[in-house]
Amino acid sequence: MMQFILNTAEETEAFGAKLFQILPEKCLVFLLGDLGAGKTTLARGFMRAAGHIGAVKSPTYNIVEEYKIDNRLFFHFDLYRLADPEELEWIGIADYLQEKAVCFIEWPEKGEGYLSEPDVILSLTTSDNGRKLHIDKIPEHIKSKLSD
């Protein structure tokens, strides 16, 4: 397992930007962590590195935000308010996951049974000096690029 210390929101966004450089065009990323741990901040860094201009907010009420940037698709899900995992079927989660897109899913445990196996699992926790990011799962060919 790899671990990173991210002392500021800027460092968390920078890590997200690094992910943009190394993740394939189709990738499912689970973001684990409590409220305020930095999940959306990391996704914001990714989207800004992709070229998104404007706000990147947590899709807590919409469940999903879609971004189309330079003919690439990105989806940012927040399942925090999901009452039942079956709701994912109603919104067409299978269709989203079939797309050639990077999908970030916050609170994936709320969608258990309806989500595919993730390519990447990132866990964020707050600490005295900012955040700790644990990479719980990542393909080896991507893992080696994080050290560059």
Q: Is residue 4 part of a domain?
A: no
**pLDDT value of position 49:** 96
Q: Is residue 57 part of a domain?
A: yes
Q: Is residue 80 part of a domain?
A: yes
- Cβ atoms of 28 and 105 within 8 Å: the answer is yes
Sign for the CA dihedral angle at 64, 102, 111, 35 comes to negative
Model-level pTM greater than 0.85?
yes
CATH classification of the domain holding 97: 3.40.50.300
CB under 8 Å, gap of 24 or more: what pairs does 56-63 form?
58/106, 63/87, 63/91
Number of domains in the chain: 1
Range of the domain at 53: 24-128
- For residues 21-42, give the mean pLDDT: 94
Q: Is residue 136 part of a domain?
A: no
* Strands of the chain, DSSP E: 2-6, 27-32, 64-69, 72-78, 101-106, 120-127, 130-137
- pLDDT tens, 61-116? 788 999 999 999 999 999 999 999 999 999 999 999 999 999 999 999 999 999 99
Mean pLDDT of the chain: 92
Q: Is residue 8 part of a domain?
A: no
Q: Is residue 62 part of a domain?
A: yes
**What DSSP string describes 70-110?**
TTEEEEEEE-TT-S-TTHHHHHTHHHHHHSSEEEEEESGGG
Chain position carrying tokens 């450089």 = 21
